[in-house]
Amino acid sequence: MSNDESPNVPAQRDRRHAVREKAQQVQAQQSRARVIRTTSLVVAIAAVIAIAAVVVTWTVTTGSSRPLMKPANVTDDGFVVTSVPPTAATAQGSGSVDDTTAAQSLEAAPTAEPTAEPTQTAQPVVDIRIYVDYLSTGSRDFQLANSQQLSKWVSQDAATLTYYPVAMLTAKSNGTKYSLRAASAAACVATHSPDAFFKFNNDLLAQQPTVDSDGYNDSELAAMAIAAGSDSPKTVRSCIEKEDFASWAKTATERALQGLPDTDELALMSTPTVLVNGVPYVGALNDPKEFAQFVLTSASDAYYETPTPAPTATTSPSATETATPTPTP
């Protein structure tokens, strides 16, 4: 009786083969899982990119399809002050020149001498133009110091006063673009409530937020405009909150940086830029007496540069008659 003690080689080979197949199956499953994860990630990224592209396209299309709205009552991107509140021309405030000085500054300008005719040459009206950024501390200082005498000159028809809202400090408000939004709000008031523009402009500067702060939001700007005496509160609020003139304010600023109208190749470099009869004021921003003297000098120069009509000779009717010859006998 024989005993077969040889190892079960086929059985061992089968077990190794089974283990190998199992490992291959696990590896295949892991490979498929990696492929699925990679594919899913690629699909998700593609979907995000597609959604972003749609949003950008919609935004650009919407922005380009909306026409650039231009404010009314604007000349060369500026708003002429047509009226001032009675209190603005008479009230006293810190840092402002007194009424007597303000009045004398232009009243002291030379008056035209009578010509041979019974008419007089009108004294030239001083043209004052101010480029303001509502986040500029210099613009605030100039307005606080000179607002009363400016309003007095306007009320006396001694000067024309034009404000040009610009947005040079748009990046200095934590991303809220306050400078641009405030300029747009000023254009809204000038368009829909021009009589309230001077006070709103003054309030924006007098109550100016600090640089690198968020500034006022659109609802707060609208509330300030209505408090300034807007006679169309709903229209003004809608205009400000929709930022109707933000694009205009941006392009107006770009135009000013390229050159200022009616000047000898001047361009906007900083705010405020104050022009009196086209000549920039370079004196102290917070000294109303110095500015008043500059205006007085400009008014005098304008007077002497204005040609005076030559007197017209007037002859009596008898001087034009010719003697009738007397016949000789």
* CA trace torsion 245, 246, 248, 251 (10° rounding): 170
* Distance in angstroms (rounded) separating the CA atoms of residues 237 and 140: 24
Are residue 242 and residue 194 in the same domain, yes or no? yes
Q: What was the pLDDT predicted at 114? A: 38
- 141 pLDDT higher than 90: yes
Closest CA to 259 of 275, 243, 246, 247: 275
Judge whether 14 lies within some domain: no
**Residues 110, 305: contact at Cβ < 8 Å?**
no
Question: How many domains does the chain fold into?
Answer: 2
Average pLDDT over residues 103-123: 45
Beta strand spans in the chain (E): 79-80, 126-132, 159-165, 273-276, 279-280
Residue 223, Cβ neighbours under 10 Å: how many? 15
Are residue 139 and residue 212 in the same domain, yes or no? yes
| Percent of the chain whose pLDDT exceeds 90 | 55
Are residue 250 and residue 297 in the same domain, yes or no? yes
The three-class DSSP label of residue 102 is helix
Q: What was the pLDDT predicted at 36? A: 80
pLDDT digits (tens, 9 = 90+) for 260-301: 999 988 999 999 999 999 999 999 999 999 999 999 999 887
Are residue 36 and residue 181 in the same domain, yes or no? no
**Which residues have CB under 8 Å from 273's CB, separation 6+?**
130, 131, 260, 280
Are residue 151 and residue 290 in the same domain, yes or no? yes
pLDDT digits (tens, 9 = 90+) for 21-31: 777 777 777 77
- 133 pLDDT higher than 70: yes
- 169 pLDDT higher than 60: yes
Q: What was the pLDDT predicted at 207? A: 97
The domain of 43 spans 22-61
Are residue 31 and residue 101 in the same domain, yes or no? no
pLDDT digits (tens, 9 = 90+) for 224-271: 999 999 999 999 999 999 999 999 999 999 999 999 999 988 999 999
Contacts 24+ apart (CB under 8 A), 234-242: 235/192, 236/188, 236/189, 236/192, 236/193, 239/188, 239/191, 239/192, 240/184, 240/185, 240/188
What is the residue-averaged pLDDT of the chain?
80
Report in angstroms the alpha-carbon separations of 120 from 9, 10, 205. 133, 132, 40
